[in-house]
Structure 1
Amino acid sequence: MGRSISVRDGTKLKKVEEIVKAEYGLNNRIDAELSYWTDDRLTRYNGLEVAPTIICDNHGFMVFCSLRKGDKSLNLFVTFSERVNGEVRILGSVDDTIVASPRLGWGVLGTQAVDRI
C-alpha cells in the first residue's frame, strides 16, 4: 500500500528515512532503502530493462527531488529490511502487517511506493 509524506527542499536523506519508518510505524531495527525508477525509453527500446536507482546519500535524494519537480509521475519506493542472525531479510507488507519475505532483491513484495513528495 502506498503512503504520502511531505518533504521540504533541503531535507536530508536520513530524515526522510525516519519519516517513512514513522509513517509505517516501524522501529529502529528496520532499515529503509529508498529508490526510484525513471522511464528510460531508449533503454527499453534496445530491449534492456531499466534498473532502479538506489538513493545512497543526500546528493542522490536531491537529484530525485529535482527530477520529481519535472516529472510528477516519478515515485519514491522504499524497501524495508532487517538483520536477523547476521542475515539481511527483505520485509514485505500484507494488509499493513510486516512479514518476512524469503525473497532477496527487488520485487513487488518488500517495495512500497511513497507518493506525493
Structure 2
Amino acid sequence: MNLHLINKLTCVTIGIAMVACNTSTTMEKLTYPNTKKVDTTDIYFGTEVSDPYRWLEDDMSAETKDWVVEQNKVTDAFLDQIPYRKAIEDRLTQIWNYEKIGTPFKKAELLVYAKNDGLQNQIYLLL
C-alpha cells in the first residue's frame, strides 16, 4: 500500500478516535434542524419505493441551499469545540503538501500525465 495513503489513513483514524473519546464527556447532544419529508414514490419492477427526501436532490434550489446552511451550522458548531482541530489540520496539510505526478500515458498522438503541486483540490492533466 502507498506510504502516503497509510499516513493519511493513520491521521484520520487518530483524529476520529480523539474526537470520539472527547465527545462523550464534554460535548452536548447535537440538535439537527428538521428535514421535511415529501410524499414521493416510484415503482421499480413492480416494487413501490418511497423517496421522501428527493427534494434534496435539486442542489440548485433555494430550499436545498437553506437546508445545507442549517446543517452546516450544526456541524461547524460541533467541530469548533475540538481543541486540537487546528493541530490536526496543520499536520495533515504538512503531510499532504507534496508534488504528485502520475504515470504518463498516450492519448491520440499526445503524451499526457496528471500533476498536482501539493494542495490543489484535484489533479490536472497536462500535455
Give the TM-score normalised by structure 1.
Answer: 0.23
Q: Which has the larger radius of gyration?
A: 2
Higher fraction of helix? 2
Give the TM-score normalised by structure 2.
Answer: 0.21
